[in-house]
Chains A and B, each alone.
Chain A
């Protein structure tokens, strides 16, 4: 967590020097969340949408924030971005308390709430981006350079002169991203940025986010239902359910913790052959056989794919084979159902 050092940032020559010596690491914001609660009053009394959560995000991290509907995802993001005041606990984003220093934080933060627009519906896209320049007090040359860069990264060139209402959903989402990151935020909060997009548009958005995180070191918090977003982009996954964090770690660790298994699918030359398993198979077992095809399930921490393939090739004539990675949705469904990770003794 980098504390805000007064006087360390405003620097009239920063524009010039930065171009010569870019340093991605100084860009990202750190986030600290502790004992965070938010209660809402409803007809049935007080309900805790967020019931005491803790986590830290290091500058430059790309964190996926997942959970079923009503788990408290949006509420958390709104507290981190200064929209909502927590009932208890603390949040510090880039050294600032969001709801107390809302406007200062807003200058260093980008937010894209999916399905809502921050653009001027009836004006040409470039007008909205020009308003962003004034709202964030950007120098005209800096703005121009950044706009050119984003326009080429996001393919916005031909769209700039079009009114926002005339853009397709995929085009608009790219435009929203451009508007959000134009002022060079240190942290970006994204809420369902790929919802409703087709495959190509999703790929464009993901590619851009990956670039932003890598090139600028922008800290990104991504809330999504699309687990592909998370597996493709995020180095870390936080899962929230009923207002509590039920998982915080890497995706690999998640699979290990929940003992999720991979599958080796082989097509044998002889459809009648029985796959011979032995003690060296280390837990791998044939779970299905159909014609030429055999499905073998194995755990990544017990036997590697290479070892298993070698064993099979050693004993059988194989026409074809493939490895199916575990389905993260399956793991997450188990978490939502309240299954605890199986106890692991060493």
Chain B
């Protein structure tokens, strides 16, 4: 018999197949998936609607009109949708289950990157609903705020989406890394994923200095979403956080992602699994 497995090769295509297999497994009940997809989108639309109503009641929020605030909500919702599409199953409640049941041991004997394996095999297709609803809402809010789309604008919106999604995914990865040590699930991560994204839906200047510092320089959601929104809306931004900082957005996001990657590697090295 030949050496059947070739020592190298393949690459990204393998992960594509894993995604497809994972999604096909879930599409086993297509009706249920459709309902959950629509549900995940509706939640975001309801959020945007509520924010629009409240802000509209008071005219403006820190100088931002209702559609302008909705643009923030929409960008962060779309980013969260994309991030959770990839990272939802890394969330400690699920991931601790994988560790406890020994499923993760099984992942580690595969000839792939364990993290890429986890992300690829567990894509949560229903978050497509949130991503699409978010993108739709961005289009509506931009239109109402008088944004005239240019190639540059599209790029900035895409940057915000990708940066926000990357931050959400990175938080999920950090949460999973934390689970290596605790084995138990923990809610701490949800505070950042959901709380962080909700806070990102409002203009940063309404927050006190501590929270602001946290969201600009620690978990840089403000840089990922708020600053690009400034650029889209043609605003200059508050002191200390001008629109000109747009180039820092990808850098800060990459920095946070690097941190998450280090955390994951550290966790993996100290992985002890469970009993047998």
Say whether B271 contacts A135, CB under 8 Å.
no
Cα-based distance from A15 to B14 in the complex (angstroms): 22
Contacts A116-B101, A116-B103 given: A106-B273 contact, CB under 8 Å?
no
Residue total for B at the interface (Cβ-Cβ under 8 A): 38
Decide: A113 and B4 in contact? CB cutoff 8 A. Answer: no
Q: Which chain A positions have C-beta within 8 A of B21?
A: 120, 123, 127-128, 131
Contact in complex: A10, B17 (CB < 8 Å): no
Report A's interface with B, CB cutoff 8 A: 9-11, 14-15, 18-19, 22, 27, 40, 69, 73-74, 78, 81-85, 102-104, 106-109, 111, 113, 116-118, 120-123, 127-128, 131, 134-139, 142-143, 146, 163, 182-185, 191, 216
How far does the alpha carbon of A201 sit from the alpha carbon of B7 in the complex, in Å? 34
CB contacts between A and B, total, < 8 Å: 120
Beyond the given A111-B106, A120-B21, A120-B25, could you list 5 further A-B residue pairs with CB under 8 A, ordered by the A residue number? A18-B1, A78-B105, A83-B105, A134-B10, A135-B10
Q: Which of A9, A19, A117 contacts B3 (CB 8 A)?
A: A9
In the bound complex, do residue B110 and residue A122 qualify as a contact, i.e. CB atoms below 8 Å apart? Answer: no
> Which of B5, B25, B103, B270 is within 8 Å of A107, CB to CB?
B5
Whether A135 pairs with B110 at a CB distance below 8 angstroms is yes
In the complex, 19 of the A-B residue pairs with CB atoms within 8 angstroms, ordered by the A residue number, are A10-B6, A14-B3, A19-B2, A73-B276, A83-B108, A83-B273, A85-B270, A106-B112, A107-B7, A111-B109, A113-B102, A122-B26, A123-B24, A123-B25, A131-B18, A135-B111, A146-B4, A182-B4, A216-B1
Which 3 residue pairs spanning A and B have beta carbons closest together? Answer: A184-B4, A136-B5, A183-B5
Q: Which residues of A contact B3 (CB under 8 A)?
A: 9-11, 14, 184
B275 at the interface (CB under 8 A from A): yes
Chain B residues 227 to 276 lying within 8 A of chain A, measured CB to CB, are: 269-273, 275-276
Inter-chain contacts of A14 with B (CB < 8 A): 2-3
Whether A74 contacts B275 in the complex (CB less than 8 A), given A9-B7, A120-B21, comes out as yes
A27 to chain B, nearest CB (A): 7
CB pair A135 B112 closer than 8 Å: yes
Taking a contact as CB atoms under 8 Å apart, the answer to whether B4 and A138 are in contact is yes
Docked CA distance A166–B171 (Å)? 37
Closest to B29 in A: A122
Within 8 A of A (CB), among B121-168: none
Q: Are A22 and B273 in contact (CB under 8 A)?
A: no
A residues within 8 A CB of B2?
Answer: 14-15, 18-19, 142, 184
In the complex, are the beta carbons of B106 and A113 less than 8 A apart?
Answer: yes
Segment 18-76 of B: residues with Cβ below 8 Å from A? 18, 21-22, 24-26, 28
- Contact at A131–B17, with CB atoms within 8 Å? yes
Judge whether B13 is part of the interface by a CB distance below 8 angstroms: yes
Most buried by B among A78, A128, A163: A78
| Residues of chain A contacted by B208 (CB below 8 angstroms) | none
| Interfacial chain A residues near B25, Cβ < 8 Å | 120-123
A113 and B106 alpha carbons, distance in the complex (Å):
8
Q: Which residues of B contact A143 (CB under 8 A)?
A: 4
Taking the nearest CB of chain A, how far is it from the CB of B22, in angstroms?
8
Q: Is B195 an interface residue (CB 8 A)?
A: no
A85 CA / B17 CA spacing, docked (Å): 30
Q: How far is the CA of A107 from the CA of B14 in the complex (A)?
A: 14
For the complex, what is the distance from the CA of A107 to the CA of B8, rounded to whole Å? Answer: 9
B195, chain A: closest CB distance, angstroms: 32
B17 and A134 form a contact (CB under 8 A): yes
B47 to chain A, nearest CB (A): 32
In-complex Cβ contact of B9 among A11, A81, A121, A137 (8 A): A137
**With the chains together, A177 CA to B269 CA distance in Å?**
29
Q: How far is the CB of B9 from chain A (nearest CB, A)?
A: 5
Which single member of A11, A78, A103, A128 contacts B111 (CB below 8 Å)? A103
A108's nearest neighbour on chain B, judged by CB, is B5
Look across to chain B and name the residue whose beta carbon is closest to the beta carbon of A127.
B21
List chain B residues, Cβ under 8 A from A82.
108-109
CB contact under 8 A between A138 and B6, given known A18-B1, A127-B21: yes
Are B112 and A103 in contact, with the CB atoms below 8 A?
Answer: yes
A116 touches B111 (CB 8 A): no
With A and B bound together, what is the CA distance between A14 and B269 in angstroms?
A: 36
Within 8 A of A (CB), among B199-231: none
Contacts of A9 on B, CB cut-off 8 Å? Answer: 3, 7
A105 to chain B, nearest CB (A): 9
CA distance A282 to B276 in the complex (A): 46
B109→A27 contact, CB < 8 A: no
B236 to chain A, nearest CB (A): 49
